[in-house]
């Protein structure tokens, strides 16, 4: 989800707004300084089964002196597996997380990290609506999800950055860039794996949705770069196996013109915008792309970039109305979009998480008394004031591929806001040593049995795939197909 401050769209992972602020700098491992430590002072927790259901156990590590992890058993949602919740404490900032063990072989299966987007939207959407072990249907109605991704993997869901979901700050501290938030995620992952040694060496997969197209490449790169320092200190590096990005917005330069393709050409459905408007949009598109490139990428002129973004929104995005921006096949009024993101279940999830017994069971800090909100517009606004979305995040993807980290870009074919046309173009234009081989491969069907469920292209560590009939939240719309895609990916099987 994502709040678009200027356009009026609240998006499930990406904000379409005109933003001003400082240009972002890439993540640097050198900026993340670790203290030296005496290994003899460290006493790992070792076993998740030792955790209490009534109170938090605090984990720390002298290698990360500014970080603590509070964690407890939280037997809710899926009674068939171990469930845990807690906080990542970074001095005065506190990030809430859920962790579920695998339904198959928790002591052997891979580990998945999941974050929703926004920026500023809670991963409770991914947990309780999409790929988690249970689905909230109403405030007192929670059902088992047979298509949960913990079918054969252990999985985290994290509310980040601070201010999102049940995450909070003591004194109004904020995080306003993806690179800044990446340091916290990398430290948390290292602390968790050091304490619960049975996970050491397991394949670890970073995954996310929508604005996760910005988050995940940066977070994965932070973990990769941190590994060198862990190894130098005699600690076990994280076995970063892959990054999985679902319906992500990674590169604005390829995504913005794709809105014209999706609404004016039969890319997934018949054109949904009238002929006259499409003609005007096509005429203005070249100016939009030129201005955006000059103001936001060739230079970092915040005011001019704001103006370019506003112009592009007016000519490319504004004509799109009356439809669900997350699923072109469904109508949605502006009032419904503002109220529930076009999905009434999001409000039911909020009501479920407002129950005092649920908050107590999962250990929500008692200081959080306000009603639960799926997305925080203040967080969204801060990221966009810093022009966070403008950074060419595809550069991180290319760097990960060069280092042997596999990358999956999957897209529900009916999504508009982070659509398959823009994502495919991003992958085709991505500069890495396997680019020519990837571009030369034609799209082909991928199937479950004899049933085609999307198209795919693959070369080496990079795979692009669509999921037919799915929208922005593909696991919600097509649970079976999404789970099959993930299972094959974890098993390193070709689609």
pLDDT tens-digit map of 113-137: 999 999 999 999 999 999 999 999 9
**Which residues are known catalytic residues?**
210, 415, 472
The reported pLDDT for the residue numbered 13 is 35
Question: Is there a cis peptide before residue 171, judged by omega within 30 degrees of 0?
Answer: no
The reported pLDDT for the residue numbered 299 is 87
55-105 pLDDT, tens digit per residue, is 998 988 888 999 999 999 998 888 889 999 999 999 999 999 999 999 999
CB 282 within 8 A of CB 260: yes
State the pLDDT confidence band at 42, using cuts at 50, 70 and 90: low
Q: What percent of the chain is predicted at pLDDT more than 90?
A: 78
In angstroms, rounded to a whole number, what is the distance separating the alpha carbons of residues 367 and 423?
41
What's the pTM? 0.93
Region 15-19 average pLDDT: 37
What value does the mean pLDDT of the chain take? 90
374-416 pLDDT, tens digit per residue, is 999 999 999 998 999 999 999 999 999 999 999 999 999 999 9
State the pLDDT confidence band at 47, using cuts at 50, 70 and 90: confident
Tallying the residues shown for the chain, one arrives at 495
The reported pLDDT for the residue numbered 40 is 55
CB 404 within 8 A of CB 205: no
Q: How many CB atoms lie within 10 A of CB 196?
A: 20
In angstroms, rounded to a whole number, what is the distance separating the alpha carbons of residues 482 and 478?
6
The reported pLDDT for the residue numbered 39 is 54
In angstroms, rounded to a whole number, what is the distance separating the alpha carbons of residues 241 and 460?
14
- The separation between CA 356 and the C-alpha centre of its own chain, rounded to angstroms, equals 28
Least confident segment among 3-17, 328-342, 409-423, 456-470:
3-17
In angstroms, rounded to a whole number, what is the distance separating the alpha carbons of residues 296 and 391?
9
Report all structural domains of the chain as residue ranges with CATH numbers, in order of start. 29-253+391-490 (3.40.50.1820)
């Amino acid at each position: 989800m994502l709040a678009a401050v200027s356009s009026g769209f609240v998006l499930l992972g990406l904000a379409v707004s005109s933003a001003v602020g400082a240009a972002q700098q890439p993540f640097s491992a050198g900026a993340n300084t670790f203290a030296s430590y005496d290994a003899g002072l460290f006493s790992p927790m070792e076993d998740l089964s030792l955790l209490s259901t009534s109170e938090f156990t605090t984990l720390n590590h002298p290698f990360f002196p500014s970080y603590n992890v509070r964690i407890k058993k939280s037997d809710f949602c899926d009674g068939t597996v171990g469930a845990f919740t807690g906080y990542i404490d970074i001095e005065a900032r506190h990030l809430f997380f859920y962790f579920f063990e695998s339904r198959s072989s928790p002591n052997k299966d891979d580990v998945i990290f999941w974050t929703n987007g926004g920026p500023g939207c809670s991963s409770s959407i991914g947990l309780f609506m999409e790929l988690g072990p249970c689905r909230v249907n109403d405030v007192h109605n929670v059902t088992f999800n047979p298509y949960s991704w913990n079918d054969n993997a252990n999985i985290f869901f994290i509310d980040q950055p601070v201010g999102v979901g049940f995450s909070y700050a003591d004194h109004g501290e904020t995080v306003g860039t993806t690179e800044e938030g990446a340091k916290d995620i990398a430290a948390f992952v290292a602390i968790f794996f050091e304490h619960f040694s049975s996970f050491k060496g397991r394949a670890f997969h970073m995954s996310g949705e929508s604005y996760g197209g910005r988050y995940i490449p940066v977070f994965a790169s932070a973990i990769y770069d941190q590994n060198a320092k862990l190894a130098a200190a005699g600690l076990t590096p994280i076995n970063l196996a892959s990054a999985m990005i679902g319906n992500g917005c990674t590169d604005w330069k390829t995504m913005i013109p794709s809105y014209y393709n999706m609404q004016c050409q039969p890319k997934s459905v018949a054109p949904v915008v009238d002929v006259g408007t499409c003609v005007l949009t096509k005429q203005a598109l070249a100016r939009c792309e030129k201005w955006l490139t000059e103001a936001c990428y060739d230079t970092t002129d915040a005011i001019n970039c704001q103006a370019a973004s506003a112009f592009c929104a007016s000519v490319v995005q504004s004509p799109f109305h009356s439809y669900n921006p997350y699923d072109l096949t469904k109508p949605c009024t502006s009032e419904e979009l503002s109220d529930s993101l076009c999905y009434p279940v999001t409000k039911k999830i909020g009501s479920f998480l407002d129950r005092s017994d649920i908050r107590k069971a999962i250990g929500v800090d008692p200081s959080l008394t306000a009603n639960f909100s799926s997305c925080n517009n203040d967080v969204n606004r801060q990221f966009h004031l810093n022009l966070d979305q403008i950074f060419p995040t595809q550069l991180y993807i290319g760097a990960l591929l060069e280092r042997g980290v596999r990358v999956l870009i999957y897209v529900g074919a009916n999504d508009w806001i982070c659509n398959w046309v823009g994502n495919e173009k991003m992958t085709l234009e991505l500069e890495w040593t396997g680019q020519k081989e990837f571009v030369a491969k034609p799209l082909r069907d991928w199937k479950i049995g004899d049933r085609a469920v999307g198209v795919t292209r693959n070369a080496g560590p990079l795979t692009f795939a669509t999921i037919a009939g799915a929208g922005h939240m593909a696991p919600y719309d097509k649970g079976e197909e999404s789970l099959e895609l993930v299972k094959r990916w974890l098993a390193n099987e070709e689609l």
